[in-house]
């Protein structure tokens, strides 16, 4: 036994000595061997060792990270520069008018945002608030080209807009699957923050299905900690393969800069809105004419309801679709077309996805009873902002 241990210790000593000699006089032999594995979604490249006889030191392994994804998506992300000359009052030069009302000369407005080229035909997705009430819209590509853009359509309810530019050889981004995203997936945010030029930031998906933030009427945000700042609005949120999964839209911030909480509109929503705007110039949604409110445990106890999840109807429009279907204030909607709804956001999205003129079944809790109501869906009325934009 003692002899065996002696042989083992001598072998280990010789091996350590050989490793020391090789690492001292031939370090490139060790560096040429890959000792590490690539992280999911990342690429690791090992740079070849210096040629024999060369005096240059052998470079170490270089981690490429998400270089391929950034290089694939970046050319499709554009800067959107907007301006608006304020309306000039025709009586601005009348001395009596200026005496009583002062100088009514409007101040011109301008802004910088981002957009994403989604087709070789020149369609660009961006946020509605980037182009809202702007007369002159210019798109700037990463290759230095510029072009005036035409507004194809806007949808304030989701804060999306579609532009079109007439240029040749336009790159376009590939659509990813936002429904397949999971918390922890790596993402890149690409845009033009603060107008400094195109910038790529990296992070992960922090949360999914964020709603009731008071930003849009229809909310289903992807939350990310990839830095999003003013000017990133309308830019791309891409996955590790460089495919579009969201349109960067808003941030939570007390300072105006990124605090690690950014929100992007899922590409599944953006694509549906884009196709409707290109095809019809507007987005048509269902509507039943109710005033909903989330059902809280306190409300359920007050009304002696045997359920905990659902949407309390606090108001029903007189002669509206829901009223004609038999719905009353105090009813709690639990299903729309066999899809369960647990909060107001889910009810809005479920009803909005219905086709006007379609008859659907809504299951409601009324006291201790479960009722099935048949409601004929109507077309959602335009918001005041949409009506004003159309009139203009």
The CATH number given to whatever domain includes residue 79 is: 2.40.10.10
Q: Establish if 255 belongs to a structural domain.
A: yes
Asked which of 257, 280, 303 is the last residue of a domain, the reply is 280
3-state secondary structure of 70: helix
Please calculate the CA angle 369-375-377 and round it to the nearest 5 degrees: 145
Whole-angstrom Cα distance, residue 254 to residue 230? Answer: 13
Q: Establish if 169 belongs to a structural domain.
A: no
Q: Establish if 14 belongs to a structural domain.
A: yes
Contact yes or no for 380/372 (Cβ under 8 A): no
Report the pLDDT value the prediction gives residue 14, as an integer from 0 to 100.
Answer: 72
What dihedral do alpha carbons 336, 342, 347, 353 form, nearest 10°? -60
Residues 318 and 362 in one domain: yes
Per-residue buried b or exposed e for 338-352, using 16+ beta carbons within 10 Å of the residue's own CB: eeebebbbbbbbbbb
List CB contacts of 204: < 8 A, sequence separation 6 or more: 183, 184, 185, 186, 187, 224, 225, 226
Contact yes or no for 241/69 (Cβ under 8 A): yes
Asked which of 44, 65, 86 is the last residue of a domain, the reply is 65
Residues 236 and 272 in one domain: yes
Residues 29 and 45 in one domain: yes
Report the pLDDT value the prediction gives residue 134, as an integer from 0 to 100.
Answer: 87
Residues 310 and 373 in one domain: yes
Contact yes or no for 139/80 (Cβ under 8 A): yes
Q: What is the pLDDT along the chain (392 residues), one digit of tens a residue?
A: 667 766 777 777 777 677 766 666 666 565 554 444 444 454 444 445 455 555 545 444 444 578 999 999 999 999 999 988 654 455 555 555 454 455 545 555 678 899 999 999 999 999 999 998 888 899 999 999 999 999 999 999 889 999 999 999 999 999 999 989 999 999 999 999 888 889 999 999 999 988 777 787 788 899 999 988 888 899 999 999 999 999 998 877 666 666 778 999 999 889 989 999 999 888 888 999 999 988 888 888 888 888 888 899 999 999 999 999 999 999 999 999 988 998 888 888 889 888 899 999 999 999 888 999 999 999 988 765 444 444 33
Strands 43-45 and 369-376 come out as: unpaired
CATH number at 360 reads 2.30.42.10
Report the pLDDT value the prediction gives residue 77, as an integer from 0 to 100.
Answer: 95
Residues 372 and 340 in one domain: yes
Q: Establish if 384 belongs to a structural domain.
A: no
**So which residues are the catalytic ones?**
129, 159, 233
Whole-angstrom Cα distance, residue 201 to residue 185? Answer: 14
Q: Establish if 294 belongs to a structural domain.
A: yes
Q: Count of domains in the chain?
A: 4
Q: What is the strand order of the sheet 136-140 is part of?
A: 146-148, 136-140, 77-84, 109-117, 123-126, 160-164, 150-155
Residues 107 and 193 in one domain: no
Report the pLDDT value the prediction gives residue 214, as an integer from 0 to 100.
Answer: 74
Residues 220 and 236 in one domain: yes
Q: Where are the beta strands (DSSP E) in 149-198?
A: 150-155, 160-164, 186-191
Report the pLDDT value the prediction gives residue 275, as an integer from 0 to 100.
Answer: 92
DSSP-derived letter for residue 76 is: G
Report the pLDDT value the prediction gives residue 364, as an integer from 0 to 100.
Answer: 93
Residues 53 and 139 in one domain: no
Residues 86 and 156 in one domain: yes
Residues in the chain, overall count:
392
Q: How many helices (H) and strands (E) does the chain have?
A: 10, 23
Whole-angstrom Cα distance, residue 176 to residue 239? Answer: 8
Residues 265 and 331 in one domain: no
Q: Give 115's Cβ-side CA count (13 Å radius).
A: 35
Asked which of 164, 198, 233 is the last residue of a domain, the reply is 164
Strands 286-287 and 236-238 come out as: unpaired
* Residue located via tokens 């981004």: 173
Residues 371 and 291 in one domain: yes
Residues 268 and 206 in one domain: yes
Parent domain of 352: 286-379
Contact yes or no for 130/82 (Cβ under 8 A): yes
Q: Establish if 159 belongs to a structural domain.
A: yes
Q: Establish if 228 belongs to a structural domain.
A: yes
Q: Establish if 170 belongs to a structural domain.
A: no
DSSP-derived letter for residue 218 is: S
């Amino acid at each position: 036994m003692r002899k065996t241990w002696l042989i083992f210790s001598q072998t280990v000593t010789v091996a350590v000595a050989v490793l020391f000699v090789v690492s001292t006089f031939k370090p490139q032999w060790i560096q040429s061997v890959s000792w590490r594995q690539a992280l999911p979604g990342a690429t690791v490249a090992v740079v070849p060792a210096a040629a024999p006889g060369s005096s240059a030191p052998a470079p170490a392994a270089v981690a490429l990270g998400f270089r391929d994804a950034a290089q694939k998506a970046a050319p499709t992300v554009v800067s959107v520069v907007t301006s608006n000359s304020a309306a000039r009052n025709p009586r601005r030069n009348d001395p009596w008018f200026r005496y009583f009302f002062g100088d009514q000369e409007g101040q011109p407005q301008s802004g910088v945002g981002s957009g994403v080229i989604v087709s070789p035909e020149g369609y660009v997705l961006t946020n509605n608030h980037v182009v809202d009430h702007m007369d002159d819209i210019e798109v700037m590509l990463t290759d230095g080209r510029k072009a005036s853009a035409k507004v194809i359509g806007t949808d304030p309810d989701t804060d999306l807009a579609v532009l079109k530019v007439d240029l040749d050889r336009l790159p376009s981004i590939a659509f990813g699957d936002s429904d397949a995203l999971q918390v922890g997936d790596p993402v890149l945010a690409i845009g033009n923050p603060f107008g400094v030029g195109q910038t790529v930031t990296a992070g992960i998906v922090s949360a999914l299905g964020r709603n009731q933030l008071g930003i849009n009427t229809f909310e289903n945000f992807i939350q990310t900690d990839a830095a999003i700042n003013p000017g990133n609005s309308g830019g791309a949120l891409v996955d590790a393969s460089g495919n579009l999964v969201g349109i960067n839209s808003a941030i939570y911030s007390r300072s105006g800069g990124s605090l690690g909480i950014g929100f992007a509109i899922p590409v599944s929503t953006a694509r549906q809105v884009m196709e409707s705007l290109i095809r019809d110039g507007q987005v048509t949604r269902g509507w039943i004419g109710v005033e909903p409110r989330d059902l809280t445990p306190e409300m359920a106890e007050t009304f002696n309801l045997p359920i905990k999840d659902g949407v309390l109807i606090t108001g029903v429009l007189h002669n509206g679709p829901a009223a004609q279907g038999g719905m009353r204030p105090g009813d709690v909607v639990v299903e729309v077309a066999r899809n369960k709804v647990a909060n107001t956001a889910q009810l809005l999205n479920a009803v909005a996805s219905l086709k006007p003129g379609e008859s659907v079944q809504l299951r409601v809790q009324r006291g201790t009873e479960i009722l099935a109501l048949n409601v004929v869906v109507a077309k959602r009325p335009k918001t005041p902002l949409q009506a004003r934009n159309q009139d203009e």
